[in-house]
Amino acid sequence: MSTLMNVSLMIYFALVSLIGTFGNGIILLAYGNRWNSSKSTSVIFILILACVDLWTCLIVVPTIAIMEYREFEVPTLLCRFYSFSKILIIISSLIMSFIALDRFLNIAVPHYRLLNPRRVKVSNKVISVNYCVFIFYTHLVDY
């Protein structure tokens, strides 16, 4: 890879990481105190999405930058971390889909609360535990 391309790619990753970290940090500061008292599922989804995206901007994007800079010649541990962290992007998309579903249900059937704050928090915990079990299991498997 040419030097100019490499430098521009590192600048891009640094900007994405900095802007994403700053933006998600602001969201967590603005909405963070509403977690326990929230009656709105949208606030809970926004907080969960901000946490996942903050992790992605702080950890995953710099890891991708390191791997690109080294042309993917990295230690096995970093390569495994990278492959498992990509799942966070899928989880982020899933959370945005749930936000869209929640908004649709609030408009289509406003008096029937399929997604209430308690169900959202419980489902978030179930997804988190399953993700952790998946990561733990895949680390036990030797490739």
pLDDT digits (tens, 9 = 90+) for 93-103: 888 888 888 88
Instruction: Give residue 1's pLDDT band: very low, low, confident or very high (50, 70, 90).
Output: low
Q: Which fold has domain 3-140?
A: Rhopdopsin 7-helix transmembrane proteins (1.20.1070)
Instruction: Give residue 14's pLDDT band: very low, low, confident or very high (50, 70, 90).
Output: very high
- Segment 30-68, tens digit of pLDDT: 888 877 776 778 888 888 899 989 998 998 899 888 888
- Segment 69-85, tens digit of pLDDT: 888 888 878 877 777 77
Neighbours of 57 (CB within 10 A): 20
pTM listed for this prediction: 0.78
The half-sphere exposure of 56 on its side-chain side, counting CA atoms within 13 A, is 19
Question: Residue 141: phi, psi to the nearest 5?
Answer: -80, 130
Across the chain, mean pLDDT equals 83
d(CA 90, CA 88): 5
pLDDT of 139 reads 62
pLDDT of 116 reads 80
Q: Each residue of 101-119: b (16+ CB within 10 Å) or e?
A: ebeeebeeeeeeeebebee
